[in-house]
Amino acid sequence: MKALKIFLILLLLTSGIAKAQFTKAELQVSGLTCALCAKSTEKSLRALPFISDVKPDLMRNIFVITFKNGQPVNFDEINKKVQDAGFFVNSLKATFNFDNVKLANNYFSYGGDTFDVVNGADKPLSGEVAVTIVDKGFAPRSVSKKYLGQVTAAAPANSGRVYHVAI
Protein backbone atom coordinates (compact mmCIF):
# COMPACT_ATOMS: atom_id res chain seq x y z
CA MET A 1 0.00 0.00 0.00
CA LYS A 2 2.87 2.34 0.85
CA ALA A 3 4.52 1.66 -2.50
CA LEU A 4 1.26 2.50 -4.29
CA LYS A 5 1.04 5.86 -2.50
CA ILE A 6 4.62 6.70 -3.41
CA PHE A 7 3.98 5.72 -7.02
CA LEU A 8 0.89 7.94 -7.21
CA ILE A 9 2.76 10.91 -5.72
CA LEU A 10 5.60 10.48 -8.22
CA LEU A 11 3.12 10.17 -11.07
CA LEU A 12 1.42 13.42 -10.06
CA LEU A 13 4.70 15.27 -9.75
CA THR A 14 6.04 14.11 -13.10
CA SER A 15 2.78 14.79 -14.94
CA GLY A 16 2.82 18.36 -13.63
CA ILE A 17 6.37 18.83 -14.85
CA ALA A 18 5.68 17.24 -18.22
CA LYS A 19 2.95 19.80 -18.99
CA ALA A 20 5.56 22.55 -19.09
CA GLN A 21 7.26 21.93 -22.39
CA PHE A 22 7.59 22.71 -26.05
CA THR A 23 5.13 20.54 -27.96
CA LYS A 24 5.66 21.45 -31.61
CA ALA A 25 7.31 23.98 -33.91
CA GLU A 26 7.09 25.44 -37.38
CA LEU A 27 10.55 25.73 -38.87
CA GLN A 28 10.89 27.76 -42.07
CA VAL A 29 14.09 26.97 -43.96
CA SER A 30 15.58 29.16 -46.66
CA GLY A 31 17.59 27.84 -49.58
CA LEU A 32 15.54 24.72 -50.32
CA THR A 33 15.30 24.31 -54.09
CA CYS A 34 14.05 20.78 -54.58
CA ALA A 35 12.46 17.78 -52.89
CA LEU A 36 15.89 16.19 -52.31
CA CYS A 37 17.00 19.29 -50.36
CA ALA A 38 13.91 19.02 -48.18
CA LYS A 39 14.42 15.28 -47.72
CA SER A 40 18.03 15.70 -46.57
CA THR A 41 16.99 18.42 -44.11
CA GLU A 42 14.12 16.26 -42.82
CA LYS A 43 16.46 13.29 -42.36
CA SER A 44 18.94 15.48 -40.50
CA LEU A 45 16.22 16.80 -38.15
CA ARG A 46 14.84 13.32 -37.43
CA ALA A 47 18.25 12.35 -36.04
CA LEU A 48 17.75 14.64 -33.04
CA PRO A 49 16.73 12.66 -29.94
CA PHE A 50 13.99 15.09 -28.82
CA ILE A 51 12.11 15.14 -32.15
CA SER A 52 9.19 12.77 -32.51
CA ASP A 53 8.02 13.62 -36.04
CA VAL A 54 8.84 15.95 -38.94
CA LYS A 55 6.34 16.84 -41.67
CA PRO A 56 7.63 18.92 -44.57
CA ASP A 57 5.48 21.48 -46.41
CA LEU A 58 7.40 22.04 -49.64
CA MET A 59 5.11 24.82 -50.86
CA ARG A 60 6.10 27.09 -47.94
CA ASN A 61 9.52 25.56 -47.13
CA ILE A 62 8.23 24.75 -43.65
CA PHE A 63 8.83 21.72 -41.48
CA VAL A 64 6.22 21.01 -38.80
CA ILE A 65 8.14 19.40 -35.96
CA THR A 66 6.55 17.46 -33.11
CA PHE A 67 8.68 17.08 -29.99
CA LYS A 68 8.88 14.03 -27.78
CA ASN A 69 6.99 14.31 -24.53
CA GLY A 70 9.14 15.01 -21.49
CA GLN A 71 12.42 15.65 -23.34
CA PRO A 72 14.01 19.10 -23.32
CA VAL A 73 14.32 20.79 -26.71
CA ASN A 74 17.57 22.34 -27.89
CA PHE A 75 16.91 24.95 -30.58
CA ASP A 76 20.62 25.47 -31.27
CA GLU A 77 20.86 21.79 -32.28
CA ILE A 78 17.93 22.26 -34.68
CA ASN A 79 19.67 25.27 -36.21
CA LYS A 80 22.94 23.32 -36.49
CA LYS A 81 21.25 20.36 -38.22
CA VAL A 82 19.66 22.71 -40.78
CA GLN A 83 23.00 24.42 -41.42
CA ASP A 84 24.81 21.06 -41.66
CA ALA A 85 22.33 20.11 -44.39
CA GLY A 86 23.41 23.26 -46.26
CA PHE A 87 20.49 25.59 -45.51
CA PHE A 88 19.44 28.36 -43.11
CA VAL A 89 16.69 28.82 -40.57
CA ASN A 90 14.47 31.66 -41.75
CA SER A 91 12.06 31.52 -38.80
CA LEU A 92 11.25 29.25 -35.89
CA LYS A 93 7.90 29.44 -34.15
CA ALA A 94 7.47 26.96 -31.30
CA THR A 95 4.43 26.15 -29.19
CA PHE A 96 5.08 26.12 -25.44
CA ASN A 97 2.65 24.84 -22.83
CA PHE A 98 2.68 27.42 -20.03
CA ASP A 99 0.68 25.29 -17.59
CA ASN A 100 2.72 25.13 -14.35
CA VAL A 101 5.25 27.71 -15.62
CA LYS A 102 5.64 31.10 -14.07
CA LEU A 103 6.60 34.12 -16.16
CA ALA A 104 8.65 36.43 -13.91
CA ASN A 105 9.95 39.76 -15.24
CA ASN A 106 9.24 38.47 -18.76
CA TYR A 107 11.50 35.43 -18.28
CA PHE A 108 10.74 31.74 -18.03
CA SER A 109 13.05 28.75 -17.74
CA TYR A 110 12.85 25.43 -19.48
CA GLY A 111 15.36 22.60 -19.85
CA GLY A 112 18.18 24.61 -18.27
CA ASP A 113 17.72 27.53 -20.68
CA THR A 114 16.18 30.93 -20.07
CA PHE A 115 13.64 32.48 -22.43
CA ASP A 116 13.27 36.28 -22.49
CA VAL A 117 9.83 37.35 -23.74
CA VAL A 118 10.84 40.64 -25.38
CA ASN A 119 7.29 41.85 -25.99
CA GLY A 120 5.71 40.26 -22.93
CA ALA A 121 4.91 43.23 -20.70
CA ASP A 122 4.27 40.65 -17.95
CA LYS A 123 1.30 39.13 -19.76
CA PRO A 124 -0.27 36.25 -17.84
CA LEU A 125 0.25 33.15 -19.97
CA SER A 126 -1.43 29.78 -19.69
CA GLY A 127 -2.00 26.81 -21.93
CA GLU A 128 -0.31 26.45 -25.29
CA VAL A 129 1.16 29.68 -26.67
CA ALA A 130 3.17 30.19 -29.87
CA VAL A 131 6.52 31.88 -29.31
CA THR A 132 8.85 33.02 -32.08
CA ILE A 133 12.58 32.89 -31.47
CA VAL A 134 13.97 36.26 -32.59
CA ASP A 135 17.70 35.69 -32.00
CA LYS A 136 20.14 35.98 -34.90
CA GLY A 137 20.16 32.75 -36.86
CA PHE A 138 16.52 32.03 -36.02
CA ALA A 139 14.76 35.02 -37.60
CA PRO A 140 15.33 37.41 -40.50
CA ARG A 141 17.80 40.19 -39.73
CA SER A 142 15.08 42.86 -39.67
CA VAL A 143 13.03 40.91 -37.09
CA SER A 144 16.08 40.27 -34.89
CA LYS A 145 17.06 43.93 -35.05
CA LYS A 146 13.52 45.07 -34.17
CA TYR A 147 13.14 42.86 -31.10
CA LEU A 148 16.71 42.66 -29.85
CA GLY A 149 16.81 46.45 -29.83
CA GLN A 150 14.16 46.29 -27.07
CA VAL A 151 16.32 44.13 -24.78
CA THR A 152 17.46 46.27 -21.88
CA ALA A 153 17.95 44.11 -18.80
CA ALA A 154 20.46 41.35 -18.31
CA ALA A 155 19.03 37.86 -18.11
CA PRO A 156 18.93 36.05 -14.77
CA ALA A 157 22.07 34.04 -14.11
CA ASN A 158 21.93 30.38 -15.06
CA SER A 159 24.17 27.89 -16.77
CA GLY A 160 22.08 27.57 -19.95
CA ARG A 161 21.54 29.70 -23.00
CA VAL A 162 19.30 32.75 -23.14
CA TYR A 163 16.84 32.79 -26.04
CA HIS A 164 14.86 35.91 -26.92
CA VAL A 165 11.28 35.19 -27.97
CA ALA A 166 8.26 37.18 -29.09
CA ILE A 167 4.64 36.25 -28.53
How confident is the model over 92-110, as a mean pLDDT? Answer: 88
Give the domain range for residue 39. Answer: 20-166
pLDDT tens digits for 39-54? 999 999 999 999 999 9
What confidence tier does 101 reach under pLDDT thresholds 50, 70, 90? confident
The sign of the dihedral angle between the CA atoms of 138, 141, 143, 148 is positive
What confidence tier does 72 reach under pLDDT thresholds 50, 70, 90? very high
pLDDT at 74 over 50: yes
CA distance 42 to 31: 14
pLDDT tens digits for 126-149? 889 999 999 999 999 998 888 888
Q: Which of 84, 71, 39 is nearest to 58 (CA)?
A: 39
Residue 2 lies in a domain: no
Contact assessment for residue 152 and residue 105, using Cβ atoms and an 8 Å cutoff: no
Q: Which of 99, 97, 118 is nearest to 107 (CA)?
A: 118
pLDDT of residue 155: 61
pLDDT tens digits for 75-90? 999 999 999 999 999 9
Residue 3 lies in a domain: no
Contact assessment for residue 115 and residue 132, using Cβ atoms and an 8 Å cutoff: no
Residue 9 lies in a domain: no
pLDDT of residue 122: 63
CA distance 144 to 166: 10
**CA angle at residue 125 from 123 to 128, to 5 degrees?**
145
Residue 11 lies in a domain: no
Q: Which of 126, 120, 112 is nearest to 152 (CA)?
A: 120
Which CATH number is 158's domain given? 3.30.70.100
Residue 7 lies in a domain: no
pLDDT tens digits for 111-123? 889 999 888 766 6
